[in-house]
Amino acid sequence: MVRQMLLYERVVPLSPARHGRWSIAPLEDLGFAAGVNSLPLMVSEFAAAAVEYPIVFVVDDRGATPMVVLGFRANRNALVDGAGRWRGRYLPAFLRRYPFVFSASPDGRTLTLCIDESHRGFDAKGRRGERLFDDAGNRTAALERALAFTRTFQDEHDRTRRFGAMLKDAGLLGPASARAAGPEGAAASLAGFHCVDRAKLKALDGERLAALMAADALELAHLHLLSLRNFDRLAEFTATDDRSRGDAHAAPPAAH
């Protein structure tokens, strides 16, 4: 499992001086995400994502980050096919936000909208898609939509961070691993993540349980636990990906 900026290669502040003629085409080819087997997930996405994908947590000194798992193989996203199409139904917001992202000032008080200039959807001469700025240097409707989505994502990021901190502070997260059998019988395994410990959740005192419930954290924890059933479904996606790459008989290695 990995922590990200991972998809962003050449991040620079967006400005009319540098990007005045730039345009962006619709995001159709998701090949840029083919090399990651997990992505950060916002709490507002749990209900939609839990139906299809496993949701786990990466825990470190900064807190606990929810992640949606997208493949059993390290550095391979089983949900992106060879043509860059998404195999699943729900597309995580982390991908829908790309290639835009906020950069925070050292004190965290100022956010600057940035773009990944390496994104293939950009056209520096403005010939494809929609312009980012008009001829007067004002933001276009396309850029305003991207800015609004990125702001919403940032707000959800802060809410998600608080949720992860609640679970970690309550001592509910513990190391976990997953093992599933693909449709052809080959076992797939995954490690290096954390999950909510059901026994510890049941043992919570009334005050702590009420606090989790009031913050909607209890519902989110149960959605996370429900989503773990999708590891078998993920093994099927991984097998499909293996066949498309011509290595259907290779045993999936553990991914960390």
Torsion over CA: 11, 16, 21, 25 (sign): positive
- N-to-C CA span, the chain: 5
pTM of the model: 0.89
Which pLDDT score, from 0 to 100, does residue 187 have?
Answer: 67
pLDDT tens-digit map of 28-56: 899 999 999 999 999 999 999 999 999 99
What 3-state DSSP class applies to 9? coil
What 3-state DSSP class applies to 113? strand
pLDDT tens-digit map of 133-179: 999 999 999 999 999 999 999 999 999 999 999 999 999 999 999 98
Mean pLDDT of 87-99: 96
- For residue 153, what is the enclosing H or E element? helix 141-169
CA distance 199 to 87: 35
Asked if 194 contacts 186 with a C-beta cutoff of 8 angstroms, the reply is: no
